[in-house]
Structure 1
Amino acid sequence: MEFDGELWIWDARRDDSWTFVSLPVEDSEEIQDLVGGLRHGFGSVRVRVTIGRSNWRTSIFPDKGRGCYALPIKRAVREAEGLSAGDVASVTVELLDA
């Protein structure tokens, strides 16, 4: 899945600057259909992500408030790609659990 998403900081952990990108709702619904019961802790789904020249493995988490999955963006990736909250990144997500 490929999409452009704005980086945002999780309000509950603002002091820690946990930064995320929301997957589009349509893609999130497709992921739910594909993974069925293959979710891990907190409903997470394992993925491989690419932003710019950076790629890594992580998990996406359901964000009930936004009705989609949230993708955490590591500090190392943000620094390598020159990204911060409010910036828009081109993101590729590959499911590892499907």
Structure 2
Amino acid sequence: MNVVFEAELWEWDARRTETWTFVTLPADVSEEIRERAAGPRRGFGSVRVGVAVGATAWKTSIFPDSSRGYVLPVKRAVREAEGLDVGDTFTVTVELLDY
């Protein structure tokens, strides 16, 4: 399963000393992933994915969020390589690897 979508980078303050940034997968995509990934899952309900943003590609996991659907963490190296800041909207390609 491959999906391409536009998403806004947002920030979640996990702890006082750490800041995490994410994009939210579209609701219909999150629902389809839930259906395909039913059964035993990895820690925190994560699903392994391949991701591309601009010229940067990497493997990571997406995580279910009770209010948003699935969310994708975007690490600092990717943000710096692609010149992304919180609030920016950009194209994301996600490929499910394990389901």
4+ residue segments displaced more than 4 Å:
none
Distance 1:97 1:89 in 2: 25
Secondary structure of the residue that 1:84 maps to in structure 2? coil
Number of residue-to-residue matches in the alignment: 97
Larger deviation, residues 47-56 vs 11-20 = 11-20
| Structure 1 or 2: more strand by fraction | 2
- Structure 2, unpaired ranges of 5+: none
Partner of 2:13: 11
Distance 1:25 1:43 in 2: 17
Partner of 1:83: 84
Counterparts of residues 50-65 of structure 1 (less than 5 Å): 50-65=52-67
Larger deviation, residues 73-82 vs 13-22 = 13-22
> If the length of structure 2 is used for normalisation, what is the TM-score?
0.92
Secondary structure of the residue that 1:79 maps to in structure 2? helix
Report how far residue 89 of structure 1 moved: 1.5
> If the length of structure 1 is used for normalisation, what is the TM-score?
0.93
Which letter does structure 2 place at the counterpart of 1:7?
L
Report how far residue 13 of structure 1 moved: 3.7
Partner of 2:24: 22
Distance 2:86 2:22 in 1: 8
RMSD of aligned Cα (Å): 1.2
Contact 1:38 1:97 in 2 (8 A): no
